Amino acid sequence: MVNKITGFRELNVWQRAYALTLDLYRITRKFPKAEIYGLTSQLQRAAVSVPANIAEGYERNHRKEYLQFLFIAKGSLGELDTLLLLSRDLGYMTIEDFDHVNAKRQETMKMLQGLIKSLS
């Protein structure tokens, strides 16, 4: 018997993206206050965009729209790559934190690419 997904919260990719977002919020609490409207905000907005776009796309009534939102989420994961590198290289994030969240970002990207492929 095949398990039917009844909502976006059941999607493993959404769960992984949500966990990544929580981790980034915890990590950015330690960033310099001078970055609150800069790198901190950019990281948080890019991170939130991933699960939010997966959820919004899921709730759309058409596969084409769903895919469009999944591609937006994928773009936000790409943006996170650069923002994480900047955070690490500026010394705002430890190597351990960087490695942890970057591994989650990469895993989320692979899962998202798999979902996109399955819907295409």
3 falls within a domain: no
67 falls within a domain: yes
Share of the chain above pLDDT 70, in %: 98
2 falls within a domain: no
pTM summary value: 0.92
Retrieve residue 77's tokens.
Answer: 């994961």
Count of domains observed in the chain: 1
For position 46, which CATH number holds? 1.20.1440.60
1 falls within a domain: no
* 75-97 confidence digits (pLDDT tens): 999 999 999 999 999 999 999 99
Q: Which domain holds residue 13?
A: 8-119
52 falls within a domain: yes
Determine phi and psi for 89, rounding to 5 degrees.
-70, -25
